[in-house]
Structure 1
């Protein structure tokens, strides 16, 4: 099995991406680093770039990269209804030829909106993955409730497991993996260490063995996304180092 490795454009830093000329300008670095694909971040777009998604899709395809799409938004609103912008995000993901759209969970109250969600996903043909974020909604209990509801309703929605975010919400990443692993289809890889009153993301080989061991608890065939800082004078070389590290069995 050759594990797919995606690189999140935000790993290079928002300022670096902007100075380079946008996410399209980072693509050659990701390709030179040997990655299989790129996670495009909606929050890094200018309005003009957001209106040129087909051009970006062609650039991604031209470098033989896969794409996924992340929007900084929750699937469910504070009142428990579906995010009204979900059709827009699905449309944007389709314009990018993305393999999936990634959102955070938000306020999941009950199963009422899930049939509507099923319809929207069926109409769009886009896969949806839901991530544990750094808010209370990203704690284990709500993620478990959502996972269980999707299973009961046979809803085609899976989870993104962010290895580091659990610490931000006071949870054990290992315990979360034990409960959620069967539903995980994408892994956001980062280690996290205490920093002032919170945490900061670092590369897993710059931390203790906990973080690489955690990956062994998660599905071996799930693509891994690099979301820790990628820094240095030769970004392609740094990228290649971590692509190779995370591709290892």
Structure 2
């Protein structure tokens, strides 16, 4: 069975997206490159584009792409409560016919009752995935505690495992992969290079094997998404190159 590869629109850069007129303009590029799906980023919408989600949904369907909806917010707020805008975000994901909706974990407390989240998700059509972000909330200990606490409940549909974000958070990606692999249902792929006192996302390179070693520890049958810079005069060609690479890696 062919491995699914998605493209995160943010990979093309916010300036390029704005220049093109929004994320919808990238759909022909992503489809022509042979990708199976697209990750739509909420933070890249302006107010007008948020009102035009039905048109975007129709364009995604016409391009025969599967949609993932990324919300740049925490699932659990600073006081441990669920994000108060879940209804709004899930409604938007529903309009887009998204397969998944993605949040960062946020301020989950290991001893808190998860029934409210479980009951909420039982009423939704869109599946929730939780990502390791680049903050302290995205540390391995926090994600491990959340999924360990879920046990067999499967409170959410699993984890978005970002191969590069662990380095921002200060955790080893290989250890994270070993401990969390059974929870992973979607993968963000990026290589990472040192930049000053921090890191920057870069395209996978044969000289850097960490991304391959990490992928090898993760489920082989879940979608992989490009979340590293896609640049060049021929965006279809550069996108196709990396779609093929992630499909075969």
8 A Cα contact 2:38 2:68, kept in partner: yes
Structure 2 length normalisation: TM-score? 0.97
Runs of 4 or more above 2 Å deviation = 110-113
1:50-83 deviation digits (Å, cap 9, x = unpaired): 1111110100000111100001000000111111
Alignment partner, residue 179 of structure 1? 179
Q: Distance in 2 between matches of 1:153 and 1:111?
A: 15
8 A Cα contact 1:80 1:110, kept in partner: no
Alignment partner, residue 2 of structure 1? 2
**Partner-residue secondary structure (3-state), 2:205:** helix
**Partner-residue secondary structure (3-state), 1:157:** coil
Q: Distance in 2 between matches of 1:207 and 1:81?
A: 43
- Report the CA distance between 1:152 and its aligned residue: 4.5
8 A Cα contact 2:157 2:185, kept in partner: no
Structure 1 length normalisation: TM-score? 0.97
Whether 1:67 and 2:80 are equivalent positions in the alignment is no
Alignment partner, residue 101 of structure 1? 101
Q: Distance in 2 between matches of 1:247 and 1:188?
A: 13
**Partner-residue secondary structure (3-state), 1:38:** strand
8 A Cα contact 1:53 1:92, kept in partner: yes
More deviation, 137-146/152-161: 152-161
Alignment partner, residue 114 of structure 1? 114
What does 1:83-98 correspond to in 2, within 5 Å? 83-98=83-98
The alignment yields a C-alpha RMSD, in angstroms, of: 1.2
8 A Cα contact 2:174 2:213, kept in partner: no
